[in-house]
Amino acid sequence: MLIELEHISKDYGKRNVLKDVSISTESGTCVGILGGNGCGKSTLLAVLAGIRKATSGRFVFDGRDILNDRIAIASAVGYVPQGTPLIEELSARDNLLVFYRRNELERELGRGTLKLLGVDEYIDVPVRKMSGGMKKRLTIGCAVSNHPRILLLDEPSAALDLICKQKINGYLRAYMRNGGTIFLATHDKEELELCDKWYILKDGTAVGYDYDGNIERLISEF
């Protein structure tokens, strides 16, 4: 299935953050969204998630434009922002119960997504006592409760330890094997290697890039 971003723009008053972003990819792939700080990576993902309204453009999934259709986006898209939008006073279990039915939650903890992410290991720990990596894995678990076909990730492993990165990357590989598509804003070398395509956001547009493992060359393009 072809997924296309067509001429997406986003203005804040007179400031054009995104001018003309066009990207296409197939189901089961990971698209790396690269670029320097402030280039618009987070804005683009927020637009695709329906958090921010695009000034213009199309987000074509399953043959239809879903860019301004909140119901379609809620059904098709999972979104993991840089922060961790969790309820600090509640446990992992209680946060998840906002998104999962109880029997579904137990199934996912036993042999599903939440097991793969390792959330079962700290299911009754309050969020306020969790490490950054635990919070991030829980946030991903919440984001995929509706089994989205598209997953938007904004620097998911930033400042996390190697074990957390390994669990997250293992889940993302499994997600793609099952036909899911990822748009991944990242600076992380291991995450770059997850990607099938790479685009650099610069001056409000997306330019395809052939990443060969040379970080220095990549940075020089920002």
Give residue-wise pLDDT tens across range 16-29.
999 999 999 999 99
- The phi, psi pair for 15, rounded to 5°, reads -95, 120
3-state secondary structure of 76: helix
Q: What average pLDDT score do residues 23-50 get?
A: 96
Q: What average pLDDT score do residues 79-93 get?
A: 94
Confidence of residue 51 (pLDDT cuts 50, 70, 90): very high
Count how many Cα atoms sit within 13 Å of the Cα of residue 126 in the half-sphere of its side chain. 5
Q: What average pLDDT score do residues 52-64 get?
A: 96
pLDDT for 189:
87
Confidence of residue 102 (pLDDT cuts 50, 70, 90): very high
> Between 213 and 61, where is the model more confident?
61
pLDDT for 74:
94
Q: CB of 21 within 8 A of CB of 206?
A: yes
Query: Domain-by-domain residue ranges, the chain?
Result: 2-85+148-219
Q: What average pLDDT score do residues 156-167 get?
A: 86
pLDDT for 187:
85
Confidence of residue 180 (pLDDT cuts 50, 70, 90): very high
pLDDT at 181 over 80: yes
Question: Which of the residue ranges 24-33, 45-54, 125-134, 213-222 would you say has the lowest mean pLDDT?
Answer: 213-222
Q: Kindly report the number of other CB atoms within 10 A of residue 35's CB atom.
A: 21
Architecture of domain 2-85+148-219: 3-Layer(aba) Sandwich (3.40)
pLDDT for 138:
96
Q: Kindly report the number of other CB atoms within 10 A of residue 146's CB atom.
A: 14
Confidence of residue 134 (pLDDT cuts 50, 70, 90): very high
Question: Residue 118's closest CA among 76, 181, 194, 169?
Answer: 169
pLDDT at 161 over 90: no
pLDDT at 159 over 80: no
pLDDT for 80:
96
